[in-house]
Structure 1
Amino acid sequence: MANFTRISDDEIPSVTVDISQRLSKIDRDIYSGFMEHMGRCIYGGVYDPGNPLSDENGFRKDVLEALKELRMPVVRYPGGNFCATYHWIDGVGPKNDRPSRPELVWVATETNQFRTDEFMKWDLDEALAWVEYCNGIRNTRYANLRRKNGHPEPYNIKYWALGNEMWGEWQVNQMTPEQYAQQALSWAKALQLLDPSINFILGGSDGPEGTLWDSHVLHHCLQPIADHFSPLPKTLLIDMHSIHVYNIAEKHIPKALAPFSAKKGANDYFIPQTMLLLLSHTSNYFFIPLTRNWGMIR
């Protein structure tokens, strides 16, 4: 892996990659991303009907080309904090029939013009219905609704996140670790009965203060579950656990993490400005540790 050494202002930096030093194949799922209804990420970003750079579906062709170059294996949608007041049913079917609603997380108006069907071109009952709409193959209500909306084949979405930052005091539906662990496990049980092929991702906390949350949630949810109708051994319902890192050291961190100490505050994220260097350092902050631990990360 890379090591960084301080050089004088007169020297020209260089990078040497020894391709003969191969340790293992790195799981490409590490290099995934997500889209959220926040700022100009969706409307005016990837989705901008009427723009001369957009295609017939309203997608910005230049943005799609840039995303294709990234070759992200998994794209998470709809977020993010946005999912706290998200109702998937508002965003399917003819666009003229979709309601506009107050969006409480980012204090905006959600027009529902970009939702599940647009993304796929690129309470528990509600979660079950959404999975059925996306992945259902039977002659059932929401699978038939997807077919009616012009999508006869299932989307076969593989990864489903069980909430987002449920521990945060800014969340509309904030929970204690006990509440979240119980609900996440019950949801996973029900959703897997609907589609046994899907994978579930728990919502993790951030920083050292979040270890108690993570410890309780993982201990409760990573218990082997027995299927009383199958002779097979007990299995785990939860496949993955997400992490959130927003806080950084005030001092420079040695080697690869050093540039990240220049990161702007989280509130600046919403100010339109060029932040390419910041975002590249932010990516390194996550990707380098994940890549270094290739043997245990997937």
Structure 2
Amino acid sequence: MATSARLTLDPSFRIAPVEPRLFGSFVEHMGRCVYTGVFEPGHPLADADGFRTDVLELTRELGVTLVRYPGGNFVSNYRWEDGVGPVEDRPARLDLAWRSLEGNAFGLNEFMAWAAKAGVEPMMALNLGTRGVAEALELVEYANYPGGTRLSDLRRSHGVDKPHDVRLWCLGNELDGPWQMGHKTAREYGRLAAETARALKRFDRDLSLVACGSSNSGMPTFGSWEAEVLEATYEMVDYISLHAYYDPSDGDADSFLASGADMDHMIRSIAATADHVGAKLRSRRQIKLSFDEWNVWYQSRFHGESSLEWAEHPRLIEDDYDVTDAVVVGSLLITLLRNADRVGVACQAQLANVIAPIRTEPGGPAWRQTVFHPFALTARHARGEVLRVEPECPTVSTARYGETPAIWATATHREATGEITLFVVNRDRRNPCALDVTLPAGLAPVEHLELADEDPSATNTAADPDRVVPRPGTGLRLDGRRATLTLPPVSWSIVRFAPQE
């Protein structure tokens, strides 16, 4: 039985400009994300630097604007010096985070060269787990100082004459987590992050710095961790991080489809916590949020790091994503846009092979997973200002989040062209929804795509890489200022409206 819903698109109802950094990704030395993912010397499509050109092309198509590197849990035991200089002189190390052997053939300068070819901004993470202020300053000097000092001249001797000029730095990773090398209390981390931030701002006051927030909202210190860390760092950092993964493995499909409700609540909670600290400190600054790890992850299938055997870039959490996963990813992107006034950075984790939109085979093909498509289309068309969109719609009952809206939507408006783009998800697994859209005068639909399938468990594979792709929607009608369309169950849709000639 079809349900009905309605919403209004009005350019006057603005939230904030679309921040390009919302369409970030993540490359960690984990599993096959780097080796045989983005980097595979000897592959038939590898360039002179060993970068897979098929993956570079897909990265550009995906619309990634920013990439966080080199971790993740990996960074908390990482010595950046191991990954620079002549490759034959680089030491092999044990990566304690993922029980892997790291040969260091790919390091800082390789990543920066790859980022330049991909056309993405680098977001570097510092090791504040097993290292500290001095090592952070040394890395920033090596990366960003033009020349004439020991470390900047060392970089130049490594064949990189101009500084990398990295502007965005993470002050560690998930240090509230006991699984992290160098796990700390909020007080310990806050003190270290503050001293590191103070030193980095002395080097360059215009660097943007991200303090570690909670590893996930289920941590016992969630909220209190952010409050204590921000009390120590508020005047010196620009962002506090959030991480969240959503697991479909327990069979509760209705709750999984409503994952955006949890992300939305998490964003609002941490924004309120940050604002409380700012008020307490009588600061006029506003801390923004860096949602620098988010994705669907079949986490319950992963038995933890201790279950892994020591290996060199093993196959690790290479989840095969289906239609439902893609709809959830689309809904999470909608949530990030709906909170564009507070979320300034976001990174889907990760880019290749490891819970990723891009999959590869060593020596073989690369292909788009289902989750690739909502990301690529959102990154391509979400431009201008985010509009406040509040659908009137039925609800779906969920075990985890209670009653949640069946229709989850946002829209963007390009003032220069007058174009409005609607992004909308139908979370209902059983019923299509007839959606009425009230438009500004003079607009008409120019494109309507939907991602849905009679089999919501359908996936893309190397043998059938285009089994699930966005297809033209049907039944979209325009009557004056009213557009009507039908949203299939478990679907993600994009509709572009432009001024009529």
Given the superposition, is the C-alpha separation of residues 65 and 7 from structure 1 closer, same or farther in structure 2, using an over 3 Å criterion?
farther
Measure how far apart 1:290 and its partner are.
1.8
Aligned equivalent of 2:230: 218
Report if the CA contact (8 A) 1:252-1:259 is conserved.
no
Measure how far apart 1:256 and its partner are.
5.9
Are residue 292 (structure 1) and residue 338 (structure 2) matched? yes
Q: Which moved more, 1:240-249 or 1:162-171?
A: 240-249
How far apart, CA to CA, are the structure 1 residues paired with 2:297 and 2:237? Answer: 34
Are residue 114 (structure 1) and residue 106 (structure 2) matched? yes
Select the structure with the greater relative contact order (CA < 8 A; seq sep ≥ 6): 2
Q: Which moved more, 1:188-197 or 1:140-149?
A: 188-197
How far apart, CA to CA, are the structure 2 residues paired with 1:195 and 1:268? Answer: 44
Aligned equivalent of 1:266: 299
Map 1:18-29; keep pairs closer than 5 Å: 23=14, 24-29=16-21
**Equivalent of residue 217 in structure 2, options 207, 218, 223:** 207
Identity %: 35
Aligned equivalent of 1:240: 239
Q: Number of aligned pairs?
A: 273
**Equivalent of residue 91 in structure 2, options 83, 86, 99:** 99
How far apart, CA to CA, are the structure 1 residues paired with 2:8 and 2:58? Answer: 25
Measure how far apart 1:73 and its partner are.
2.2
Report if the CA contact (8 A) 1:257-1:284 is conserved.
no
**Equivalent of residue 52 in structure 2, options 52, 57, 60:** 60
Question: Which structure has greater strand proportion?
Answer: 2
Given the superposition, is the C-alpha separation of residues 292 and 48 from structure 1 closer, same or farther in structure 2, using an over 3 Å criterion?
same
Q: Which amino acid in structure 1 is aligned with residue 237 of structure 2?
A: I
User: Which secondary structure state, in structure 2, belongs to the residue aligned with residue 128 of structure 1?
Assistant: helix
How far apart, CA to CA, are the structure 2 residues paired with 1:218 and 1:197? Answer: 19
Aligned equivalent of 1:127: 136
How far apart, CA to CA, are the structure 2 residues paired with 1:242 and 1:292? Answer: 18
User: Which secondary structure state, in structure 2, belongs to the residue aligned with residue 220 of structure 1?
Assistant: helix
**Equivalent of residue 148 in structure 1, options 150, 157, 161:** 157
Report if the CA contact (8 A) 1:256-1:288 is conserved.
no
How far apart, CA to CA, are the structure 2 residues paired with 1:254 and 1:107? Answer: 30
Aligned equivalent of 1:74: 66
How far does the alpha carbon of each residue in 1:77-128 deviate from its partner, in whole angstroms, 9 at most, with x for none? 0010000111010110110111111111100110000010100002221111
Report if the CA contact (8 A) 1:102-1:108 is conserved.
yes
How far does the alpha carbon of each residue in 1:49-89 deviate from its partner, in whole angstroms, 9 at most, with x for none? 11112111100100000111223222110010000111010
How far does the alpha carbon of each residue in 1:231-260 deviate from its partner, in whole angstroms, 9 at most, with x for none? xxxxx2100111012366957249864799
**Equivalent of residue 137 in structure 1, options 140, 143, 146:** 146
How far apart, CA to CA, are the structure 1 residues paired with 2:207 and 2:164? Answer: 12
Q: Which amino acid in structure 1 is aligned with residue 48 of structure 2?
A: E
How far apart, CA to CA, are the structure 2 residues paired with 1:217 and 1:266? Answer: 28
Given the superposition, is the C-alpha separation of residues 102 and 136 from structure 1 closer, same or farther in structure 2, using an over 3 Å criterion?
same
Report if the CA contact (8 A) 2:260-2:331 is conserved.
no
How far does the alpha carbon of each residue in 1:7-54 deviate from its partner, in whole angstroms, 9 at most, with x for none? 59xxxxxxx996978735311111111110111100010000111121
Question: Which structure has greater helix proportion?
Answer: 1
Given the superposition, is the C-alpha separation of residues 182 and 288 from structure 1 closer, same or farther in structure 2, using an over 3 Å criterion?
same
Report if the CA contact (8 A) 1:259-1:281 is conserved.
no
Q: Which moved more, 1:284-293 or 1:155-164?
A: 284-293
Given the superposition, is the C-alpha separation of residues 255 and 264 from structure 1 closer, same or farther in structure 2, using an over 3 Å criterion?
closer
User: Which secondary structure state, in structure 2, belongs to the residue aligned with residue 182 of structure 1?
Assistant: helix
Are residue 90 (structure 1) and residue 136 (structure 2) matched? no
Report if the CA contact (8 A) 2:245-2:297 is conserved.
no
Q: Unaligned regions of 5+ residues in structure 2, if any?
A: 115-131, 263-295, 303-315, 345-501
TM score, norm. by length of structure 1: 0.82
Given the superposition, is the C-alpha separation of residues 36 and 118 from structure 1 closer, same or farther in structure 2, using an over 3 Å criterion?
same
Measure how far apart 1:216 and its partner are.
1.1
How far apart, CA to CA, are the structure 2 residues paired with 1:295 and 1:79? Answer: 26
Given the superposition, is the C-alpha separation of residues 97 and 248 from structure 1 closer, same or farther in structure 2, using an over 3 Å criterion?
closer
TM score, norm. by length of structure 2: 0.50
Report if the CA contact (8 A) 2:170-2:209 is conserved.
yes
User: Which secondary structure state, in structure 2, belongs to the residue aligned with residue 242 of structure 1?
Assistant: strand
How far apart, CA to CA, are the structure 2 residues paired with 1:271 and 1:255? Answer: 21
How far apart, CA to CA, are the structure 2 residues paired with 1:272 and 1:110? Answer: 19
Q: Aligned Cα RMSD in Å? A: 3.0
